Amino acid sequence: MKSLEELKKLREELQKEMLARNSKGKTKIVIGMGTCGIAAGAREVLQAVLQEIEKRKLDVVVSQTGCIGMCEKEPLLDVQLPGKDRITYGNVTKEDVQRIIVEHVINGNIVEDLVVARLEEGGE
């Protein structure tokens, strides 16, 4: 490295790797990974989410959660933009993932037809 600018550039690249350890102010995607979720295909959904994020170099934290009691709607996927309501999508398929990411995560528009629940901000 020959300058401070180079150092800063390197940092920006490297920061993404560290995202998982700093979720404050970041968009979160939470996938239901209870037995019910996994049985309904949550793992495939999770893989698809990770692929999309990597492809688009998104600044997003992916997390998983257990069964929340809506087993018949699994796989469940929550998206929470910073300061916005937490939206839960149900019966998500691999194919839905791209839509949710592009429309909701990137453009901020909720994919209304897949929504099964909505939690107000801070309700977490």
Partner 1 sequence: MEATIYRSHVLICTGTGCVSSGSGKIKERMVAELEERGLQKEVKIVDTGCHGFCEKGPIVIVYPEGVFYCQVDVEDVSEIVEEHLLKGRIVERLLYKEPLTEESIPSYNEIDFYKKQMRIALANCGRINPESIHEYIAVGGYEALGKALTEMTPEEVIEEVKKSGLRGRGGAGFPTGLKWELTRREKSDKKYLVCNADEGDPGAFMDRSLLEGDPHRIIEGMAIAAYAIGADEGYIYVRAEYPLAIHRLEVALEQAAELGLLGENILGSGFNFNLHIKKGAGAFVCGEETALMASIEGRRGMPRPKPPFPSVSGLWGKPTNINNVETFANVPYIINNGAEVYSAIGTEKSKGTKVFALTGKINNTGLVEVPMGITLREIIYDIGGGIRDGKELKAVQTGGPSGGCIPADLLDLPIDYESLTEVGAMMGSGGMVVMDESTCMVDVARFFLSFTQSESCGKCTPCREGTKRMLEILDRICAGEGREGDLELLEELGNHIKETSLCQLGGSAPNPVLSTLKYFRAEYEAHIKEKRCPANVCEGMKSAYVIDESVCIGCTACTRVCPVDAISGERKKPHYIDPDVCIACGACAAKCPVSAIAQG
State the residues that interact with partner 1 by CB under 8 A.
1-4, 6-8, 10-11, 13-21, 23, 28, 30-35, 38, 46, 50, 53-54, 61-66
* E strand intervals along the chain: 27-32, 60-65, 77-80, 86-89, 115-119
Q: Output 61 or 110, the one with its CB closest to partner 1.
A: 61
Residue 36 CA to residue 110 CA, distance in Å, equals: 25
CA–CA gap between residue 83 and residue 81 (Å, rounded) = 6
**Cβ at position 73, least distance to partner 1 in Å:** 16
Minimum distance between the CB of residue 104 and partner 1, rounded to whole angstroms?
A: 18
Residue closer to partner 1 (CB basis): 113 or 122: 122
Closer to partner 1 by CB, 7 or 119: give it. Answer: 7
Q: Least distance (Å) from partner 1 to the CB of residue 113?
A: 26
57 torsion bin: left (phi>0), alpha (psi -120 to 50), beta (else): left
